[in-house]
Chains A and B, each alone.
Chain A
């Protein structure tokens, strides 16, 4: 067990400069000289079909292919079941979960729980049933399964039991296609090559998406690979969004001018037609 923890701490690969928080915890990457720490017997070599997604006006979801291979210097260990998990995580943001109850005959929001950071999108693809291929300890350390993707509560907790609230958050986002667990979503060929396809929904928020690949043997972490995908509004979308936030008064006036012009033009055109 101690060996597993050491491996997890010291030998994980950070491929691209991703989230600073994780980099502090995981400073190592294969190939860099790190003294006194053995390299894992098996390493992940991976690639993404694309490392940025532009949200254009006609954006209608996107496909991402994450593929890779398992690099071995020594022969494959015998008898230990190999598994790969790939996660794709959207930018974190605060979320408030509210619960309705009946007051004076109508349904009113009466209780709420704030989550300081929940990913806007979180997909987990696995090569087999999560319970079989991942042990609880690794799951907690690496925050792999969906409920663990959420971070600390925000503000004082005012309800007796917050679990139904976070479960509701997961359920609602699953229904919206924003959180998903795809068992069997990772295909492994000859215990060496693997690939996972992700279909990103159309209602995507922009930000840095983090992709992580975990190589597991008998539920224990062998190697980890991390990379980032940049999702940005581009073109007109970018321009309007920036204007609306950085120059709100001008944007408001622009919207008004457009509405006034449209109203006037409609009246003028139809008068002409008559």
Chain B
């Protein structure tokens, strides 16, 4: 059954979209990631114009993070002050990200920029996760193992504007979280993702936040940043396709519930290695596209220079 998308101006099979949303939802339920990094390239693949895919991807991330934040709030696993600091940074980053996005679109380099971002960040994070997952499994095989010292005093702790973040049990400067927020905001706007897969490692390794509040806080921040990104794309480019978003969301919501049930049966380390492999495959595929001789050297874009 075909459906004509009013903004993307293409006709797509409804079940393809529900299935796409479902697969991404399944993965997000399984691994606890937003899934934006998968949905945007998959939308490119089925022929949605890149600018619409990015803007609509952000809208879909809003829905999945609302779901997630509500669950995390119940468990009191959200550090709201920290989330707010990240959010201020995120909004600044997102605004500049949209500016960069429009500039690159005019220059005809947006596809390249998006692809490069994906290859570099997905590749890096995939490899890191894979390495850590394998190490954890090896440690478990040996039995016991030494616990890593969590609080390390580095240059980060010498910065001014210190603030007490109770839920995280941290007393640190607001500058590092602000910068992390800005960086994630820029990437979110350019890549059309929530940025959870970048923010979570940054919160754990750069800010030393305890793991139990990381996911909730990151979702809290992602919710507002992607809402802002969606709104900015809708106002400046008119590229949010609400019909497309709705179908992805419906599929995603169902997939996420199935995914979280499946996930309960697997071990955390196994999940992490699987996710790492998936991330590396996506990054590898996009990387190959950049390096291999394209089948057609020419591409067309509607609209003038």
Contact = CB atoms under 8 A, between A and B. Distances in A.
B2 A58 contact: yes
B272 to A, nearest CB: 24
B143 interface: no
A163 to B, nearest CB: 12
A259 B4 contact: no
A36 to B, nearest CB: 43
Contacts of B10: 202-203
Contacts of A251: 234, 238, 240, 242
B108 interface: yes
B290 interface: yes
A96 interface: yes
Nearest to B246: A258
Interface string B245-263: 1100110010011000000
Nearest to A238: B6
Interface string B159-176: 000000000000000000
A195 interface: no
Contact of B304 (A96, A105, A120): A96
A105 B298 CA distance: 18
Interface string B225-246: 0010011011100101011011
A152 to B, nearest CB: 12
B298 A267 contact: no
Interface residues of A, number: 62
Interface in B146-164: none
Given A58-B3, A237-B4, A109 B302 contact: no
A199 to B, nearest CB: 13
A101 B235 CA distance: 34
Given A100-B299, A172-B300, A252 B4 contact: no
Interface string B46-88: 0000000000000110111111001100000000000000000
Contact of B305 (A112, A205, A233, A263): A112
B109 interface: yes
Contacts of A164: 298
Nearest to A269: B253
A259 B66 contact: yes
B66 A263 contact: yes
A108 B111 CA distance: 9
A141 interface: no
A101 to B, nearest CB: 7
Contact of A244 (B62, B238, B293, B302): B238
A155 interface: yes
B283 to A, nearest CB: 14
Given A251-B234, A251-B240, A259-B245, A57 B300 contact: no
Contact of A101 (B238, B242, B291, B297): B297
A260 B249 CA distance: 10
Contacts of A97: 298-300
Given A96-B301, A100-B299, A255 B59 contact: yes
B144 interface: no
Most chain A CB atoms below 10 A, which of B2, B109, B293, B300: B300
A240 interface: yes
A173 B175 CA distance: 51
Interface residues of B, number: 54
A253 B233 CA distance: 11
B131 interface: no
Given A98-B301, A251-B242, A264-B66, A202 B2 contact: yes
B1 A58 contact: yes
B242 A240 contact: yes
A96 B303 contact: yes
A216 to B, nearest CB: 32
A214 B268 CA distance: 70
A165 B96 CA distance: 33
Interface string A87-127: 00000011111111100011111001010100010000000
Contacts of A260: 62-63, 66, 227
A155 B67 contact: no
A249 B305 contact: no
Given A98-B299, A240-B242, A256-B231, 13 more contacts: A58-B3, A59-B2, A96-B304, A100-B297, A112-B108, A172-B298, A233-B6, A251-B234, A258-B245, A258-B249, A266-B253, A266-B256, A266-B257
Interface of A: 55-61, 93-101, 105-109, 112, 114, 116, 120, 154-155, 164-165, 168-169, 171-173, 202-205, 233, 236-237, 240-241, 244-245, 248-249, 251-256, 258-260, 262-264, 266-267, 270
Interface of B: 1-4, 6-7, 9-11, 59-60, 62-67, 70-71, 108-109, 111-112, 227, 230-231, 233-235, 238, 240, 242-243, 245-246, 249-250, 253, 256-257, 290-291, 293-294, 296-305
13 contacts: A58-B4, A93-B303, A95-B303, A109-B299, A202-B2, A204-B9, A241-B6, A255-B59, A255-B242, A258-B242, A258-B249, A263-B66, A263-B253
Q: Which 8 A-B pairs have the closest CB atoms?
A: A263-B66, A252-B234, A202-B11, A168-B298, A94-B304, A266-B253, A259-B62, A259-B63
